[in-house]
Structure 1
Amino acid sequence: MSSAMFARDVPFERSPTTDLPVLLPPRPRERFGWPKLTTRHALLFAALVLVAAGAAFAQAPDAPPAPASEALTTAPATPLSVVVKWAPLLLKGFIFNIVISVAAMTLGTITGLMLGLGQISQNTIVRRLSWFFTQFFRNSPWLVLLFFAMFMIPFQVRIFGTTIPLPDWMKAIVGFALPVMANVSELLRGAIRSIPSGQWEAAESLAFSRTKTIWQIILPQCVKRMLPPWMNLYSLITMATVLASIVGVGEMLTLTAQVHAAEGGRPELFAPLYGFAGLCFFLYCYPISKLTQRLERRYNVKT
């Protein structure tokens, strides 16, 4: 019985001199790293640059001819020089987008785990309330939740006589954390439901309490099920942080609009400036998506 199980579960090969099975060396684990840029990616970037340059050239107005003596002094800056000039400021705004996304994911993940555990609670009231909040925030537009947080959260709070201001960027973090909380709650509920029932029965046979079963047996197995969609959710939140510009938060899109206005609102600068913002988000989110695909292949759970 044991030899049959050994032959079925462990790869081996027959020795040329004996009939005893010989264990093969373990398979090397897949190494993770940033995806390599190929020629196809370089061609894609070149095509994007050409499209942006063509759009800028097409939107450029016909300027009246200037005298030769004033040609050098009145010539407007080229779109590329404008992007290079304002790139440090725009990158600072992009870093602020990343800070908002990381803070929103942290707050939303913590509260989402609590809400997800509430969905499997044995208390009927807790389970139904957790389900309601999960479905409400999960199926509401993110912009509506952002406005909800901006207008419902006060500008300052007083704690023991101390006034603590709540700036707009902090309200934006709460606004983005609400959909993260709902989606993480649903991810946790689905991951727990995907665990085979034999795990619960084995823990019960070993006299584990429900709390110990969840924290020591079920949740560790849920991590690899939740990690790829959780990273995908982070990419979506990062790209959605540009919505904070609508409520007055000084992130990258807001700074891009201010730079465009500071340069006189020239139409030919619209595509390069906003194209630079889009390229920054692409270069940040694309490696995350590729790493998510690798994790999905590695943590592919067959039930």
Structure 2
Amino acid sequence: MSDQNANPYAFVRTETLPELPPPARETGAVKWMRENLFSSIPNGILTVLALYFIYLVLSGTLPWIMGGIWTTSSLAECREILDGKSAACFSVLTERWNQLLYGFKYPVEAYWRPNLALLLLLIAIAPVLFFDLPRKLLIFTAIYPFLAFWLIWGGTILAPIVALLGVVAGGVVFQLYGKNSFAVGFFGGIIAAFVVWWLGGALIPEGASENAMLAAVPSRDLGGFMLNMMLGVTCVSLSVPLGIALALGRQSDMPLIKGICVIFIEFVRGVPLITLLFVASVMLSYFFPPESTVDLFLRVVIMITMFSAAYIAEVIRGGLAALPKGQYEAADSLGLDYAQAMRLIILPQALKISIPGIVNVAVGLFKDTTLVSVISMFDLVGMIRGPILASTEWNGVYWELLGFAALLFFVVCYGISQYSQWLERRLATDHR
């Protein structure tokens, strides 16, 4: 009572005070800038310098891009309209877009065929990239390569059917002999597939392509960014399983299998890709029977696939080495055979560890497809360096064409990178 008499204004609050908004510097854009751009004096100085550099770049490029010309038919007309002003001549893109995308020999009336193949590719690859989709869609994924081959190249439909039968035969052999040794089953399946292809090729009647529903298009007529996409998708799809087989073969207890894989990997990794492309263009045909005419596109696919598979094999071998020995012992304790242990326990963990390395090889491989221009295959860069810049109408246009090529490659490679990051986050279950 004496304390209350000493302080007559004391009381006990019966309700809580309303929440006050946080200080302005602790929310929104101000907080983000304080934490990321101006967290310290050196970071603030670097931020100001970076913003000044970006201003210099944009102040020089944006007027050049925004003032670009899109409607002329030659570089001379662009310069006449610009009258000394500095601006882009994007007319080369509107004038030669079909050559940049499809090459200069692919039939114009058949453009719908690669477009349809690209659309079907998105459908076929979806259940592989996003494993929440129904597994039944993988049936179309397995059929798609043969359907896309028929759409793009045309000719008789018997050729993709024979190719599909060869793959089926290889899968059957792998199922029979891959239980004890993955490498033996894999390479045995390859041999079985080649036997079926050789027999099926001998049974296809001559002149079958002339009466086909789709007109045949030779590989020499393929070009533009379509050729880069075809090489990239095909070689990455083939090099990943081949790289897994080589990595497992290098760890095999069979001296012959291990020796072959070691020699192959070390030899291919020690040779530049451009050398292998020259081998594909000039020398690889000597390794086939004299009467056979092996397509140049197939020879290039073989060499690029071998090159990237050797690097992917080393990436996957690193993932296998990163697994603790207890994982192998756990597979043995469950009574699993070699193929089951690899498929269910070892490889899923090793591949998860190897995702960044595999994506790095895939991005590098897709960019390296531009090297085929040195063996007279007119991909996107080959079209720019060859027919387009050699023409009198557009001789001297560089930044617009190379910038367009850089944009296409950036979009594809950035998409691959973003998907790999999403996949890593999705599979990050170690600490959940």
Unaligned runs of 5+ in 1: 1-39, 58-71
Which residue of structure 2 aligns with residue 77 of structure 1?
77
Does 1:220 find its partner at 2:230?
no
Which residue of structure 1 aligns with residue 333 of structure 2?
205
Q: CA deviation at 1:213?
A: 1.9
Give runs of aligned pairs for residues 111-122 of structure 1, distance below 5 A. 111-122=242-253
What amino acid maps onto 2:76 in structure 1?
A: P
- C-alpha separation in 2, matches of 1:111 and 1:135: 15
Q: CA deviation at 1:167?
A: 2.7
Which residue of structure 2 aligns with residue 63 of structure 1?
none
Q: Residue 156 of structure 1 contacts residue 166 of structure 1 at CA under 8 Å; is this kept in 2?
A: no
Question: For residues 244 and 301 of structure 1, do their structure 2 counterparts lie closer, same or farther at Cα, with a shift above 3 Å needed?
Answer: farther
What amino acid maps onto 2:238 in structure 1?
A: L
Which structure has the highest strand share of the two? 1
1:89 to 96, 99, 102: 99
Q: Residue 109 of structure 1 contacts residue 181 of structure 1 at CA under 8 Å; is this kept in 2?
A: yes
Deviates more, 1:240-249 or 1:98-107: 98-107
| Secondary structure in structure 2 of the residue aligned to 1:153 | helix
| Secondary structure in structure 2 of the residue aligned to 1:165 | coil
Name the structure, 1 or 2, with higher relative contact order (CA <8 Å, separation 6+). 1
- C-alpha separation in 1, matches of 2:248 and 2:368: 27
Q: CA deviation at 1:245?
A: 0.3
Q: CA deviation at 1:109?
A: 2.0
Q: CA deviation at 1:52?
A: 11
Does 1:290 find its partner at 2:418?
yes
- C-alpha separation in 2, matches of 1:73 and 1:218: 59
Q: Residue 75 of structure 2 contacts residue 393 of structure 2 at CA under 8 Å; is this kept in 1?
A: no
Question: For residues 260 and 156 of structure 1, do their structure 2 counterparts lie closer, same or farther at Cα, with a shift above 3 Å needed?
Answer: farther
Q: CA deviation at 1:260?
A: 1.3
1:246 to 359, 374, 396: 374
Select the structure of larger CA radius of gyration. Answer: 2
1:262-284 deviation per Cα after TM superposition (whole angstroms, max 9, x unaligned)? 234632x1221222112211122
Deviates more, 1:225-234 or 1:189-198: 225-234
What amino acid maps onto 2:412 in structure 1?
A: Y
Give runs of aligned pairs for residues 183-194 of structure 1, distance below 5 A. 183-194=311-322
What amino acid maps onto 1:219 in structure 2?
A: L
1:156-190 deviation per Cα after TM superposition (whole angstroms, max 9, x unaligned)? 9559xxx5532322222122112211012112212
Q: Residue 265 of structure 2 contacts residue 310 of structure 2 at CA under 8 Å; is this kept in 1?
A: yes
RMSD: 3.4
- C-alpha separation in 2, matches of 1:48 and 1:298: 40
- C-alpha separation in 2, matches of 1:73 and 1:301: 57
What amino acid maps onto 2:231 in structure 1?
A: I
Give runs of aligned pairs for residues 3-42 of structure 1, distance below 5 A. none
Question: For residues 250 and 52 of structure 1, do their structure 2 counterparts lie closer, same or farther at Cα, with a shift above 3 Å needed?
Answer: farther
Deviates more, 1:237-246 or 1:289-298: 289-298
Which residue of structure 2 aligns with residue 263 of structure 1?
392
Question: For residues 290 and 126 of structure 1, do their structure 2 counterparts lie closer, same or farther at Cα, with a shift above 3 Å needed?
Answer: same
Q: CA deviation at 1:49?
A: 8.8
Q: CA deviation at 1:229?
A: 2.4
- C-alpha separation in 2, matches of 1:291 and 1:74: 40
Question: For residues 75 and 207 of structure 1, do their structure 2 counterparts lie closer, same or farther at Cα, with a shift above 3 Å needed?
Answer: closer
- C-alpha separation in 2, matches of 1:111 and 1:148: 20
Unaligned runs of 5+ in 2: 1-50, 79-88, 103-223
Q: CA deviation at 1:240?
A: 0.7
Q: Residue 356 of structure 2 contacts residue 420 of structure 2 at CA under 8 Å; is this kept in 1?
A: yes
| Secondary structure in structure 2 of the residue aligned to 1:218 | helix
| Secondary structure in structure 2 of the residue aligned to 1:207 | coil
What amino acid maps onto 2:237 in structure 1?
A: T
Q: Residue 319 of structure 2 contacts residue 353 of structure 2 at CA under 8 Å; is this kept in 1?
A: yes
- C-alpha separation in 2, matches of 1:192 and 1:74: 57
Question: For residues 73 and 196 of structure 1, do their structure 2 counterparts lie closer, same or farther at Cα, with a shift above 3 Å needed?
Answer: closer
Deviates more, 1:246-255 or 1:211-220: 211-220
Q: Residue 149 of structure 1 contacts residue 171 of structure 1 at CA under 8 Å; is this kept in 2?
A: yes
Does 1:235 find its partner at 2:363?
yes
Alignment TM-score, normalising by the size of structure 1: 0.69
Question: For residues 114 and 270 of structure 1, do their structure 2 counterparts lie closer, same or farther at Cα, with a shift above 3 Å needed?
Answer: same
Does 1:103 find its partner at 2:103?
no
Alignment TM-score, normalising by the size of structure 2: 0.49
Which residue of structure 1 aligns with residue 406 of structure 2?
278
Q: CA deviation at 1:219?
A: 1.7
